[in-house]
Amino acid sequence: MSFAEPRPDLAAALPAFAALAGERRWASRLSELARRVRPPPGRGGTWRGRAAQRRHALELALARLVEDPRALDRAGRGERRLLAIAADAVRLAETLPARGRARLRERLAAGLEGEQTLVPLFHLLRSAALYRARGFTVEFPGLAEDAPFDLLIRRGGAEAAVACETFSAEEGRSLHRGDWYALVDRVHPELQTWLAAHPGRYVLKMTLPEGLGGPDRLAELHRRISQLLATPTRQDSSADAVLKLDPLVLAGAQAAGQGRLLPERLRAQFGPEAHLAVTADPSGGSVFVIAARAGREDTIAEAFGRRLAAAAEARLGAAADGRAGILAVFVEDVDRTEWRALRESLELEGAARRFLTTAAARPVVAVTCCSRMELLGLEAPDAVPEGELRFRNPAHPAARQPGALAPAIEPAP
């Protein structure tokens, strides 16, 4: 049975998962997340609140089902996948030795602190379920024995050590999304007031060569935007920021009401790397768009390659006892459109294949990649068929005649 299929024990696993996390810790975390995503009194949702809702979607979905088990009957495919993984965590805890159970609880607790999430642990458990579904037996030496790699998989006399990594696309962005959301939340009320006094359609284009790091730079940029809106010059340039306020012109879309098509048109005009925010005055049809980009292109693929090299050395080197190694990487902090773009442009594939030609890749027989889209069971083109991208290392002895390892390392058809 695939881990993604509904199981009769899912409802029973809900309270057990909360107990495994620690009921007091679980309740405290849910209260904290509720405060983050709740709109301020008298206002709509904030950008940071919506970002927190997306980032912690796993915890929030489980919370709804833990608090109201009757919601299981209405759960969608993605929620049932999360429930199945939570049930796997409970079953795994029952099979581990005492120290292994403690490590599992430690990882679960770490995912419920600060900006951390349950994604790394759920990626590990989902990876194990995928290998089992492909005919492998799976052990958890990372938890049971504190090994540097997470899983040991065996099939037909062959075995491989699997290191499950979580890579954030933010590592390759010059303009971090968290800083962007904080800026937009600061200026949004001011823009609403300004737009009411200046009906029309505007775009504030910003180039930020060094991003937005730090609260001091954020406050300074907010001040400059406020000053720009208060003067007739409509332009402000310095070494660390270039701001220009223009009329918003979208070819073929001059009507005031564009509804759901506006984000698509803006993305087409400003490109996939632009950070976009829209403030609208529904009563008058006025629109104010902020379009920001860094002074250089994002380097997500390059950062991904660096992470592969570091993980291979730290987790699949001598400690793997000469076994074939697999780097199973979860790519985090990407939305559907960006995930598709990274795949279709072959940027991730190029970074993985370049890494596989280096000395650091000697113990690695394959690199695999997935995202939240695969975790939640979305269908193509948003998600990858068979649940992950797979890149085989042709220089590794186990890849020349993959045999029993083929389901884990051969590219999906």
pLDDT in tens, the chain (413 residues): 344 444 556 667 788 898 999 999 999 999 999 888 887 655 556 888 888 889 999 999 888 887 776 777 777 888 889 989 999 999 999 999 999 999 999 999 999 999 999 999 999 999 999 999 999 999 999 999 999 999 999 999 999 999 999 999 999 988 888 888 989 999 998 998 899 889 999 999 999 887 787 678 889 999 999 999 998 888 999 888 999 999 998 765 444 445 557 777 888 888 878 889 998 887 777 899 999 988 777 789 999 999 999 999 999 986 567 789 999 999 999 989 889 989 999 999 999 999 999 999 999 999 999 999 999 999 888 999 889 999 999 999 999 888 999 999 998 76
- Facing residues of 331 across strands? 167
**pLDDT value at position 257?**
44
| Residue carrying structure tokens 């990858």 | 384
- Facing residues of 364 across strands? 325
d(Cα 163, Cα 182) in Å, to the nearest integer?
Answer: 34
Q: For residue 386, how far is the Cα from the chain centroid?
A: 19
The string over 166-198, giving b where at least 16 C-beta atoms fall within 10 Å of a residue's C-beta and e elsewhere, is: bbbbbbbbbbbbbbbbbbbbbbbeebeebbeee
CB hemisphere CA count around 40 (13 angstroms): 6
| pTM metric for this prediction | 0.88
Tokens matching residue 77 = 């495919």
| Residue carrying structure tokens 């000053």 | 227
d(Cα 300, Cα 366) in Å, to the nearest integer?
Answer: 20
**pLDDT value at position 233?**
84
Closest CA relative to residue 227, chosen from 258, 259, 194: 194
d(Cα 236, Cα 262) in Å, to the nearest integer?
Answer: 26
d(Cα 194, Cα 226) in Å, to the nearest integer?
Answer: 10
**pLDDT value at position 29?**
93
Element (H, E) at 332: strand 324-332
Q: Where are the alpha helices (DSSP H) in 134-214?
A: 141-144, 177-197
| Residue carrying structure tokens 């979208």 | 250
Q: Give the 3-state secondary structure percentages of the chain, helix then strand then coil, rounded to 5.
A: 50, 20, 30
